[in-house]
Amino acid sequence: MIKAVGYAAKHSYSKLKRYEFEREEAKANEVEIAVMFCGVCHSDIHQVKDEWSNTVYPCLPGHEIVGRVTKVGGDVTRHAVGDMVGVGCMIDSCRTCEPCRTGDENYCEGPNSWLATYNGPMVPKAKADDGKNHYGRDNTFGGYSNIVVVPADFALKIPAGLQPEVAAPILCAGVTTYSPMKHWGVKAGDKVGIVGFGGLGDMAAKIAKAMGADVTVFTTTKDKLDEAKRIGVTGVLEDDTKTMTSLKSSFDFILSTIPEKHDINPFVKLLKRDKTLTICGALEPMKGVDNSEVAFHRRSVAGSLIGNLADTQEILDFCAEHHIGPDVEVIAIDKINDAYKAVIDGDVRFRYVIDLATLDRNDD
């Protein structure tokens, strides 16, 4: 066993606190990684607070992990000690279902679905069709810690051109927005709408722009219009009815990145005929959609969940090549509870990234 330390919450009402625990040594197919940086995702907060009613405690979040390989199992050829690697939302999948066989591990249909980087299998034992947990672990501990140990094929290569703290949020916010844009065929010249301009929206807008799309971000926060201008996209206030009306039936694709229940009806109207609005931020019952607006133009409303391993590598490389990435604010881990509050309060457009070196500060 390896002694490890991180920040975890013991209950839904608890703050994150320093937490010492043990990890298993790397198996033949695994790598041990010394974590350098870990992004703070809005879903970390949902999970810590048990807002999806499925949290296993203690909850040690973090699925935007960048670090250096410190040990490799005997069968590992993909990575070597010293390599800079990244770990996103998944650390394993069933590897036998149709989605896994075709490289869509994020849609794993095994009895427990994929194994999340923290909080264990996506489908726990109690909800599994066969009542079993094939991963043998009810809980997993994420990247708010000094060490992670994961199967080598679930560790991505961080390209040379990316700073590690910038690469971290690409592993979740980047691929979560890139994957649906790729799947629904966003291409140069398309008019793409991004609803919500927080961590996901910022990445989505930059990626869509780098893909050559004509990008509009929709926000409720006036201050963010300047930020849109700064990154070279159009910003529209959702309550600017005149502009919203003028944009009717003009978008080829719209991605909603808002991380909680919201109303997509104002945006459905903006889609061209036969086009799709995809929700990649919220994982909950949404406000009802007016099927008259959907049916009259044969539009679709879809959902998308993170991205597969190949897409994750692709978007890391794409960001390096196009010199784009999230705007990050690096914080010490003992500031994590303040960071959560700021994210909940709403106006954070940049991504908080924890510098795990700060764990040592009070390590003794």
Would you give the distance in Å from CA 214 to the centre of its chain? 23
Which of 45, 225, 244, 305 is close enough to bind a copy of itself by CB under 8 A?
305
Beta-carbon contacts of residue 155 (< 8 Å; ≥ 6 apart): 31, 33, 69, 78, 79, 85, 86, 87
Binding status of residue 357 toward a copy of itself by CB under 8 A? no
DSSP SS3 for 119 = coil
Residue nearer to a copy of itself on the CB measure, 217 or 301: 301
- How many Å apart are CA 178 and CA 314, to the nearest integer? 9
- Tell me which stretch binds a copy of itself (CB under 8 A): 72-80, 97-105, 143-151, 226-234: 97-105
Closest distance of CB 234 from a copy of itself, Å: 21
Binding status of residue 219 toward a copy of itself by CB under 8 A? no
Beta-carbon contacts of residue 344 (< 8 Å; ≥ 6 apart): 45
- How many Å apart are CA 145 and CA 359, to the nearest integer? 8
Beta-carbon contacts of residue 15 (< 8 Å; ≥ 6 apart): 9, 337
- How many Å apart are CA 215 and CA 96, to the nearest integer? 38
DSSP for residue 306 = S
Which of 125, 297, 322, 335 is close enough to bind a copy of itself by CB under 8 A?
297
Closest distance of CB 350 from a copy of itself, Å: 25
Residue nearer to a copy of itself on the CB measure, 145 or 177: 177
- How many Å apart are CA 145 and CA 153, to the nearest integer? 21
- Tell me which stretch binds a copy of itself (CB under 8 A): 4-12, 65-73, 165-173, 302-310: 302-310
Which of 285, 323, 345, 364 is close enough to bind a copy of itself by CB under 8 A?
285
Beta-carbon contacts of residue 291 (< 8 Å; ≥ 6 apart): none
Q: N- to C-terminal Cα distance for the chain?
A: 20
- Binding to a copy of itself (CB under 8 A) within 239-268 occurs at 249, 265
Size of the residue set binding a copy of itself (CB under 8 A): 39
Which of 221, 300, 313, 358 is close enough to bind a copy of itself by CB under 8 A?
300
How many residues comprise the chain?
364
Which of 58, 107, 310, 317 is close enough to bind a copy of itself by CB under 8 A?
107
- Tell me which stretch binds a copy of itself (CB under 8 A): 69-77, 212-220, 287-295, 320-328: 287-295
Q: CB atoms < 10 A from the CB of 19, how many? A: 18
Which of 177, 219, 304, 312 is close enough to bind a copy of itself by CB under 8 A?
304
Assigned token pair, 214: 């004509």
Which of 291, 321, 346, 360 is close enough to bind a copy of itself by CB under 8 A?
291
Which of 1, 160, 188, 295 is close enough to bind a copy of itself by CB under 8 A?
295
Closest distance of CB 361 from a copy of itself, Å: 38
- Binding to a copy of itself (CB under 8 A) within 161-190 occurs at 183
- Binding to a copy of itself (CB under 8 A) within 111-130 occurs at 113, 122
Q: Are 228 and 205 in contact (CB under 8 A)?
A: yes
Nearest-CA neighbor of 134 among 174, 105, 173, 95?
A: 95
Closest distance of CB 92 from a copy of itself, Å: 17
Closest distance of CB 327 from a copy of itself, Å: 26
Binding status of residue 136 toward a copy of itself by CB under 8 A? no
- Tell me which stretch binds a copy of itself (CB under 8 A): 5-13, 104-112, 220-228, 334-342: 104-112
- How many Å apart are CA 267 and CA 247, to the nearest integer? 9
Binding status of residue 139 toward a copy of itself by CB under 8 A? no
- Give the phi and the psi of residue 171 in degrees, each rounded to 5: -65, -20
Binding status of residue 95 toward a copy of itself by CB under 8 A? no
Residue for token pair 């995809």: 278
Give the helix/strand (H/E) hosting 166: helix 164-169
Binding site for a copy of itself (CB under 8 A): 52, 98-99, 104, 107, 109, 113, 122, 183, 249, 265, 273, 276, 279-280, 282-305
